[in-house]
């Protein structure tokens, strides 16, 4: 028995020794494989670095309503080369439908993404929807590989809650996080945030070991930009402008609302528009804000500036008269100028009936040399008058791409220039320039800096900077302004035959002017392409707002400013005035139905 036990003991010792030898041999083989056969192999990394998004600041209207805001979100992408797609558990036929259902992306787009095998990652959507994100994570974390070929990466999502509203003022943010056009570009440095990060240790399941966290750099959100724009007013403008473009089959349109006393822009609508979140779906020319970037010949709305300048320079008085003839045509420098005013007219009638001949005669008086006033040369004084109102120079509004308009130097003018520029031909302006010029008349002659940014605050609401109203100059006196406002009311008075009688309001008196500017093409004017305009000041007895409406290339029977643009003013000015609480300046017995 002892002998049998000794044999068993030897056998077990042999087995144990063999096991130890095999273990050492295995270790040696593994070391050889790792260090000789697989040089450069690195052990698993148990450190991790997580990014913390420093979200871009918001753009808000004057009342704090978000117009653009950033949300923590994900880029959703398809990986056509994902090895998991070869798993027998994956149903390649139903997978695109499953992904489309979860991500809310059209199934055809998902299918096309899978077909692009030349790309490792194909972006199909951006989302900040937590339901979508959590559902993708749930399916990807399942033990099976059925939900393959889809991935996500963290990123900031720039959202525009109102869609295309105010798009040209706001601009957009491109894929690199840079603002393009509008306030997004102008305030890029103030809006952008600074990302933070966490550097830490993790276990084998990539779970953080918080006690071993090495770095913790907090994210810094960007500043918030508050605009002078009122979102409710902007809605009114864009609805009315859209209706006008449809009604008159016009190419484009602009409406600008400016507060007279401060220069604040309360609304700026330009159509056609685009959705800043999907800026790539339209042509690049639609990104530009034509209210500041388009130079156009204004037509007869320039006559107000001509008359105001002439009154200021003393070459006419409100009682001055002009014999424009009875033929409806006048020749000067060998060129005809047509009119629809006849006989002897005064300045008020000139404005009310928009007399071309009468305005051209005033232009010639302003073009005469005035050595005693410091203008010894012909044309020089008229050029300085136009410059004093801001034409031929940028207003400085906080929008990239602003044009200066076109006002050639007086030394390049010819004999015909004073009779045409004063009518709004041969001179080009921007909509903001013209609105600001009318606001100058409404403001007693003080030309204010038009502006869009009301203030900038940090993410905690602390004030960083604030815009104060700024006076740029005084081209005309308070007395001349009062005279102009009284005469301009005839333009909207049906009893005086004004061209803008359709702009009359029930609650407010209106001083304004229509314009029907011919659009030059290939150096010539035609009888089909016009810019129909109206600029109104109200209440005329105590001005608060200026509204400019410009409709480009209306088609059909009605193409004049009084028929196309003036009714748009009437539709928006009353509701805006009541919304802002502007008191009526009309006696009750003159209002309709009272």
Report yes or no on 191 lying in a domain. Answer: no
> 49: buried, middle or exposed (CB in 10 Å: 19+, 13-18, 0-12)?
exposed
| pLDDT higher than threshold 90 for residue 488 | yes
Any domain includes 82:
no
Q: Is residue 510 part of a domain?
A: yes
pLDDT, tens digit (0-9, with 9 covering 90-100), for 153-186: 888 889 999 999 999 999 999 988 999 999 999 9
Helix (H) or strand (E) holding 361: helix 356-367
Residue 38 has pLDDT above 60, yes or no: no
d(CA 522, CA 258): 34
Number of domains in the chain: 1
**Is the omega angle on the peptide bond into residue 523 within 30 degrees of 0, that is, cis?**
no
In a domain, 168, yes or no: no
- pLDDT, tens only, 440-453: 999 999 999 999 99
- The answer to whether residue 131 sits within a structural domain is no
Mean of the per-residue pLDDT values for the chain? 90
Share of the chain above pLDDT 90, in %: 67
Answer whether residue 190 is part of any domain: no
Can you give the CATH number for the domain in which 340 is found?
Answer: 3.40.710.10
Query: What is the per-residue burial (b if ≥16 Cβ within 10 Å, else e) of 73-82?
Result: bbbbbbbbeb
What pLDDT, on the 0 to 100 scale, is given for residue 117? Answer: 73
Q: What is the mean pLDDT of residues 490-516?
A: 93
What pLDDT, on the 0 to 100 scale, is given for residue 593? 43
pTM over 0.95: no
Write the pLDDT tens digit of every residue in 194-242: 988 888 887 766 676 777 777 888 889 999 999 999 999 999 999 999 9
Please list, in sequence order, all residues whose beta carbon lies within 8 angstroms of the beta carbon of residue 362, skipping any fewer than 6 positions away.
Answer: 306, 307, 310, 315, 316, 322, 422
Model confidence pLDDT, tens digit, residues 431-478:
999 999 999 999 999 999 999 999 999 999 999 999 999 999 999 999
Structural domain span for residue 298: 231-590
Which of 113-127, 190-204, 211-225, 580-594 has the weakest average pLDDT?
A: 580-594
Residue that is written with structure tokens 């100028």 in the block: 337
């Amino acid at each position: 028995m002892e002998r049998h036990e000794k044999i068993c003991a030897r056998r077990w010792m042999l087995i144990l020794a063999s096991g130890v030898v095999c273990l050492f041999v295995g270790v040696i083989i593994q070391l050889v494989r790792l260090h000789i056969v697989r040089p450069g192999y690195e052990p698993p990394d148990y450190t991790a670095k997580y990014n913390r998004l420093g979200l871009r600041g918001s753009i808000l209207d004057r009342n704090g309503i978000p117009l653009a805001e950033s949300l923590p979100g994900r880029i959703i992408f398809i990986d056509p080369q994902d090895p998991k797609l070869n798993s027998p558990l994956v149903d390649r036929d139903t997978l695109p439908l499953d992904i489309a259902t979860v991500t809310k992306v059209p199934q055809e787009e998902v299918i096309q993404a899978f077909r692009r095998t030349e790309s490792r990652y194909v972006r199909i959507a951006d989302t900040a929807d937590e339901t979508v994100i959590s559902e993708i994570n749930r399916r990807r974390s399942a033990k099976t590989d059925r939900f393959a070929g889809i991935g996500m990466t963290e990123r900031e999502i720039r959202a525009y809650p109102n869609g295309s509203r105010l798009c040209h003022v706001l601009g957009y943010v491109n894929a690199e996080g840079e603002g393009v056009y509008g306030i997004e570009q102008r305030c890029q440095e103030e809006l952008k945030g600074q990302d933070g990060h966490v550097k830490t240790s993790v276990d084998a399941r990539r779970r953080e070991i918080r006690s071993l966290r090495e770095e913790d750099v907090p994210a810094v959100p960007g500043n918030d930009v508050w605009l002078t724009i009122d979102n409710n007013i902007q809605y009114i403008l864009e609805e009315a402008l859209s209706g006008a473009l449809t009604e008159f089959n016009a190419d484009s349109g602009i409406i600008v609302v400016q507060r007279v006393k401060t220069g604040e822009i309360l609304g700026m609508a330009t159509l056609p528009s685009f959705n800043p979140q999907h800026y790539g779906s339209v042509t690049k020319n639609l990104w530009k804000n034509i209210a500041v970037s388009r130079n156009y010949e204004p037509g007869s709305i320039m006559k107000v500036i001509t008359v105001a300048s002439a009154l200021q320079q003393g070459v006419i008085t409100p009682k001055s008269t002009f014999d424009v003839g009875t033929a409806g045509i006048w020749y000067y420098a060998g060129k005809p100028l047509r009119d629809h005013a006849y006989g002897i007219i005064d300045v008020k009638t000139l404005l009310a009936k928009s007399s071309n001949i009468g305005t051209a005669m005033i232009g010639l008086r302003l073009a005469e040399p005035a050595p005693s006033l410091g203008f010894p040369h012909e044309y020089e004084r008229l050029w300085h008058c136009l410059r004093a109102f801001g034409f031929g120079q940028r207003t400085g509004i906080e929008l990239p791409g602003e044009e200066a308009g076109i006002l050639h130097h007086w030394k390049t003018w010819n004999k015909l220039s004073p009779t045409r520029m004063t009518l709004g031909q041969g001179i080009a302006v921007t909509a903001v320039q013209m609105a600001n010029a009318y606001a100058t008349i409404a403001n007693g002659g003080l030309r204010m800096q038009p502006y869009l940014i009301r203030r900038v605050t940090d993410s905690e609401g602390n004030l960083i900077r604030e815009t104060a109203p700024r006076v740029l100059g005084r081209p005309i006196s308070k007395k001349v302004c009062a005279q102009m406002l009284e005469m301009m009311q005839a333009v909207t008075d049906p009893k005086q035959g004004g061209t803008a009688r359709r702009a009359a309001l029930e609650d407010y008196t209106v001083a304004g002017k229509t314009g029907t500017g011919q659009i030059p093409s290939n150096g010539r004017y035609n009888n089909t392409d016009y810019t129909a305009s109206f600029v109104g000041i109200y209440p005329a007895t105590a001005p608060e707002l200026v509204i400019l409406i410009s409709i480009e290339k209306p088609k059909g029977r009605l193409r004049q400013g009084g028929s196309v643009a003036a009714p748009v003013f009437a539709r928006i000015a009353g509701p805006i005035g009541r919304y802002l609480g502007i008191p009526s300046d009309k006696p009750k017995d003159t209002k309709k139905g009272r």
